[in-house]
Amino acid sequence: MESITGARSMWRLFRSNALGVVGLAIIVLFAVVALAGPFLAPYDPLSFGRPQDVLRAPGPGHLLGTDDLGRDVATALVAGSRVSLLVGLSATLISMLVGTLVGVVAGYYGRWVDTALMRFTDVFLVLPWLPLMLVLAALLGPSVWNIVLVIGLTGWAGTARVIRAQTLAIKERQFMERARSIGAGDGHIIMHHLMPNVFPLIFANTILVTAVSILSETTLSFLGMGDSTRPSWGTMLHFAFESGAASSGALWFILPPGFCVLLLVMGFTFLGYAFDEILNPKLRKR
């Protein structure tokens, strides 16, 4: 019963956190748009428009105008939300799996396992991630799943550190000792005693990692590593930049995708920050 009241008081704390509520609302809004995408968008996101449709300013027929190939910007935005969310969430899943595994194993087994894993983690933590991701993406070739892989495999180090610290703290608690003394194996202890206590932290971290993953996807795609058959917001910005839309004043082609990225990432950042405040009482207002 304790966990239910725990969840309830968490929810009450969360509801009083304006930042968190705004963040959640933004995320839900984008999720609805992404899911309802094909029903909302009036045009085919991939087929090029007629010559007279190229770079039309926003107006009737094309609510947000058209791009340099005559495609409807609003349609591309809706289709892009699916790619951006899909890539962001899938990459986060990989990051969290690797980060949790490394963190738990390092913290639980300690000694040389810990030293070796944490050295390895530090390499990934300090490396400038953009050059590394660009190199990986260039070698693997442009595809949505390669981008997921690249972002996922470079973004786990921070999570591993946090999870390790929490594991170390929990390892010293008495119930761990008790479980071991009645003969529970490592696997059982990790799954039934350690993980439930590490989980809240994994949850809070997932939200912040998602924000970073979505930003990474946008940046990689902007730099030309995106899959042009499944354009994301970053891919749209890549073509906008390459076609000189900024200097030619075709701002309707540059502003909306950027605003979408900004809003969605802000949603996740707000939510993550709110959880940080809830889980870290020192930051909570007195």
Partner 1 sequence: MKRTVFVKKIFQAALTILGVLVINYFLFRVMPGDPASMLARNPRMSAESVTRINEMFGLDKPWYVQFGMYFGDLVRGDLGDSFIFKKSVALIIWERVPATLLLTVVAEVLAIAAGMSIGVVAAWKRGRPVDVGALGFALVSYSMPTFWLGILLVAFFSGYLHLFPVSGMISPSLVFASPIVKLGDMLSHLVLPSLTLALVLIGEYALIMRNSMIDVLTEDYIVTARAKGLSESDILRKHAIPNAMIPMTTIIAMSLGFTITGALQVETVFSWPGLGRLMYEALKGRDYPLLQGIFLLTSVAVVGANFIADIVYGYIDPRVRA
User: Rule CB under 8 A: which residues touch partner 1?
Assistant: 19, 119-120, 122-123, 125-132, 134-136, 138-141, 211, 215, 218-219, 222-225, 234, 237, 241, 246-247, 249, 251, 254, 258, 261-262, 265-266, 269-270, 273, 282-283, 285
Instruction: Select 43 or 159, whichever has its Cβ closest to partner 1.
Output: 159
Which residue's structure tokens are 């749209």?
A: 236
Residues 188, 106: Cα–Cα separation, whole Å = 17
* Closer to partner 1 by Cβ: residue 161 or 193: 161
Q: In the complex, what is the shortest distance from the CB of residue 245 to partner 1, in angstroms, rounded to a whole number? A: 9
CA contacts within 13 A on the Cβ side of 157 = 15
Residue nearer to partner 1 on the CB measure, 90 or 210: 210
User: 68 is written with which tokens?
Assistant: 């340099």
Residue placing its CB nearer to partner 1 in the complex, 143 or 197 = 143
Of residues 100 and 121, the one with the C-beta less far from partner 1: 121
**Residue 139 to residue 134: CA distance in whole angstroms:** 8
Q: What is the rounded CA–CA span in Å between residue 242 and residue 254?
A: 11
- Give me the least distance between CB of 36 and partner 1, in Å please: 24
Question: What's the min distance (Å) between Cβ of 21 and partner 1?
Answer: 14
For residue 143, the minimal CB distance to partner 1 (Å) is 12
Q: Which tokens go with 7?
A: 């969840």
Closest CB to partner 1 among residues 53, 277: 277
**Closest listed residue to residue 96, CA positions, set 213, 189, 263:** 213
Shortest CB 126 distance to partner 1, Å = 5
In the complex, the smallest distance separating the C-beta of residue 10 from partner 1, rounded to whole angstroms, is 21
Compute the least distance from the CB of residue 23 to partner 1, in Å. Answer: 9
Amino acid at 133: M
Q: How far is the CB of 216 from partner 1 (least distance, A)?
A: 9
Three-state DSSP at 285 gives coil
Determine the Cα–Cα distance for residues 134 and 219; give it in Å rounded to an integer: 10
The dihedral of CA 117, 92, 263, 218: what is its sign?
positive
User: Tokens 């932290």 sit at which residue?
Assistant: 201
Nearer to partner 1, 47 or 280 (CB): 280
Sign of CA dihedral 97, 101, 103, 108: positive
Nearer to partner 1, 194 or 240 (CB): 240
Q: Which residues pair with 72 in a beta bridge?
A: 66
